[in-house]
Amino acid sequence: MTISIWRYSHLTLAISSFFFILIASLTGIVLAFEPISKKLEPYSIENLDTISVSETIISLHKKYDEIISLEIDENDFIKTSVITKEGNNDTFYVDPITGNKLGKPSKKKPIYKFATNLHRSLFLKSTGRFIIGFVSLLLCLIAVSGLILIIKRQGGFLKLFSKVIKENFEQYYHIIIGRYTLIPIIIITVTGIYLSLDKFSLLPSQKINHSIDFEGQKKSTIIFPENFLLFKNTKLSTVKSIEFPFSEDEEDYFLLKLQNKELVIHQYSGAILSTKSTTLTDLFLHWSLLLHTGKGSYIWASILLLSCLGILFFIYSGFIMTFTRKKNSIIPKNNIKKDTAEYVILVGSETGTTYSFANSLYKALLENKQKVFITSLNNYTTYKNCKYLIILTATYGEGEAPINAKTFLTKIKNDAINHTIKYAVVGFGSMAYPKFCEYAIEVNQTLQQQANYSPILPIYKINNQSFDAFKYWAIELGKKLELDLHLKQQVFKVNKQYKLAVTENTNINCDNTFLVHLQPSKKIKYTSGDLLSIRPKEDNIERLYSIGKVNQKILLSIKKHEFGVCSNYLNTLNKNELVTASIKQNPSFHFPKKAKEIVLIANGTGIAPFLGMLHENHKQVKTHLFWGGRTEKSYKIYSKFIEDSIEKKQLHNLHIAYSQENTTKQYVQDIIAVNEEVIISVLKNKGCILICGSVAMMNATFKVIEKITVSKLHTPIDYFKKSNQIKTDCY
């Protein structure tokens, strides 16, 4: 079964029961406080396993005329009903050793009464009870389908608790909280269903019937109850309740309810007249009540409370995820028939973002007066006049097709075309996954093997939905097609914008690189490794720069590109000029707080976040920096930051590779290979490796590290990536 069937079921169940689940969780939160507050009352009796029923009867008889009943609840409070020496009926919590009255049982507070009624039956009596029971079942199914989704997403049951790749806040915490609340939620729902079945008398009969033969009983000598052997040997910890004989009639008896059985006891001889074990139905009912309500345990009640809060978060995050997916997945309405189109855009998407890219390409082609048809990959069919097939697709699971592309490969393999079609494939994926853009690669390979298909451009892979990268690809496509493809980004959400003043802007060096120092106009939260998002007025396209935090200022290292709108804009800024930008938190690329040894690897401008991290390495954690640049002059621009860190013992080893300095070119991966002992020691000692810079450098570095981990640590590099010991921020 595909992930999407489970996702569909999860979503449908959640939407259909959302309102009732919301009420049940809100009231559940209120009700969870009841057992907690009860537990805080001062009536709990300790060491019930050392006090016998006899001792209790003796002490109560000393103080009161008659005992009617004794009850021990889940909080170890002992409630008794007595007739006092003054002849009055009284019910209170009692101390079994002294017989002293401890306090009166309090009445249920109105808020709890209200919440209980709403929680149990929505104030609708039997109909409400039925709805709530049914909703418990739905919630249980939602939890189970959620579990299956997580297992599928993580790549198997054993990886259930392995690292979750963060796509966005809602998705990430939906999974993280889901993993921890899953078992309590299943317990809440199963016990809820059981309690409902009981209310509708759908459980096997649970009444215990004692049959007592009083005729067969001999007239016995009178023994006082406190001297009954059974009462002497029975400790209060095993007792649920005792009903005392109502009158002196010999046919009136003691009814002793223990945790696992019920006994009828002759009131004069102490003989056991009948014993019946508690039925399984009764036992389950008892446990269902305790587990569903949290009675008797404030730890469990607190877990129930947190689970209800978790459910509220699932409602919120589920809603946001669905809404975003729906908003992203809008395919424009085609205004021509499929067989008229010369351009066909096929989209493979699961959560919808690829559609927004496809839409901007579709609009750009329309603006160029081209005949375009757009649809999803699964809808692929014949296109009579198609000259160009453009495929934009995401990758899911472990390198698999997204939901709306599952049938595409089979279809295209079985479809012979009799005219030439030029094609281009763009893969959307994330480098955080081992099989980066794998499905797009498969699509591209399949097209390569099909007769009559020829590529316009080689496959192009986009990491983390970079619109910049897509725009660049569109320019290349435009050149081939002799069209001006001006893509406009759909902007959904712009983070909070801040004004930053330029405090320093260096001259460009031999590599066209410069440093900008920016001072936020008010206090904002950021750290080295976070990203600064700038949208220049010219094109409003977001550019992301990795931040180094140095002396409470933002340090950016930027390479000026000849036609780069943003890099040229930043390069022309003078001191005190203001830049408008926002911060994108990037917690997966912060300086590790706990690692004992750290390796930082960068090339070119990728060093910027590391300059900040070294500057803030106040604990002087052992740190090695590997940097690759072109020449010694390239290094100059960073030297004062690095030398300062070495002096302050915030950087312990520096390794530099120059690619243009000597006759033999040296790259950062080469100096890593000759310093393999550093990599081994860091990975072995649960240290961390951070890589920042170009994707080409990252891939070359991965190859070298993989060789080291396999040969020296007998572990594939993926293990360290998944355990977060290797982190990247590459572009």
Ligand X SMILES: Cc1cc2nc3c(=O)[nH]c(=O)nc-3n(C[C@H](O)[C@H](O)[C@H](O)COP(=O)(O)O)c2cc1C
Q: Report the interface residues with ligand X, using CB under 6 A.
A: 153, 167, 349-354, 394-399, 402, 428-430, 433, 435-438, 465
On whether the CB atoms of residues 706 and 670 are closer than 8 A, the answer is no
Q: Report the residue number, 20 or 436, with the smaller CB distance to ligand X.
A: 436
Min. distance of Cβ 363 from ligand X in angstroms? 18
- Closest listed residue to residue 620, CA positions, set 655, 649, 593: 649
- What is d(CA 628, CA 698) in angstroms, rounded to the nearest whole number? 12
Q: Report the residue number, 358 or 550, with the smaller CB distance to ligand X.
A: 358
Residues in the chain: 731
Structure letter (DSSP) for residue 134 = H
Helix pair 3-39, 280-293: axis angle to 10 deg: 80
Q: Which residues of 352-374 are buried (b: 16+ CB within 10 A; e: fewer)?
A: bbbbbbbbbbbbbbbebebbbbb
Q: Report the residue number, 286 or 722, with the smaller CB distance to ligand X.
A: 722
Min. distance of Cβ 716 from ligand X in angstroms? 16
Q: Report the residue number, 450 or 465, with the smaller CB distance to ligand X.
A: 465
Alpha helices, DSSP H only, in 294-419? Answer: 298-328, 353-367, 408-413
Q: Report the residue number, 588 or 675, with the smaller CB distance to ligand X.
A: 588
On whether the CB atoms of residues 135 and 20 are closer than 8 A, the answer is yes
Alpha helices, DSSP H only, in 416-533? Answer: 438-449, 467-481
On whether the CB atoms of residues 693 and 627 are closer than 8 A, the answer is no
Q: Report the residue number, 262 or 442, with the smaller CB distance to ligand X.
A: 442
Nearest residue to the partner ligand X, using Cβ: 429
- What is d(CA 586, CA 495) in angstroms, rounded to the nearest whole number? 14
Min. distance of Cβ 354 from ligand X in angstroms? 3
- Closest listed residue to residue 701, CA positions, set 693, 337, 616, 120: 693
Q: Report the residue number, 56 or 395, with the smaller CB distance to ligand X.
A: 395
Q: Is 538 helix (H, G, I), strand (E, B) or coil?
A: coil
Phi, psi of 156 (to 5 degrees): 130, 160
Min. distance of Cβ 353 from ligand X in angstroms? 3
Min. distance of Cβ 357 from ligand X in angstroms? 8
Q: Which are the contacts of 146, defined by CB distance < 8 A and separation ≥ 6?
A: 10, 178, 182
Min. distance of Cβ 490 from ligand X in angstroms? 13
Min. distance of Cβ 351 from ligand X in angstroms? 4
Q: Report the residue number, 172 or 268, with the smaller CB distance to ligand X.
A: 172
Min. distance of Cβ 542 from ligand X in angstroms? 15
Structure letter (DSSP) for residue 660 = S
Min. distance of Cβ 478 from ligand X in angstroms? 22
Q: Report the residue number, 285 or 441, with the smaller CB distance to ligand X.
A: 441
How far, in whole angstroms, is CA 395 from its chain's centroid?
20
- Closest listed residue to residue 614, CA positions, set 641, 580, 582: 641
Q: Is 521 helix (H, G, I), strand (E, B) or coil?
A: coil
Min. distance of Cβ 693 from ligand X in angstroms? 20
- Closest listed residue to residue 542, CA positions, set 461, 486, 466, 606: 466
Q: Report the residue number, 128 or 399, with the smaller CB distance to ligand X.
A: 399
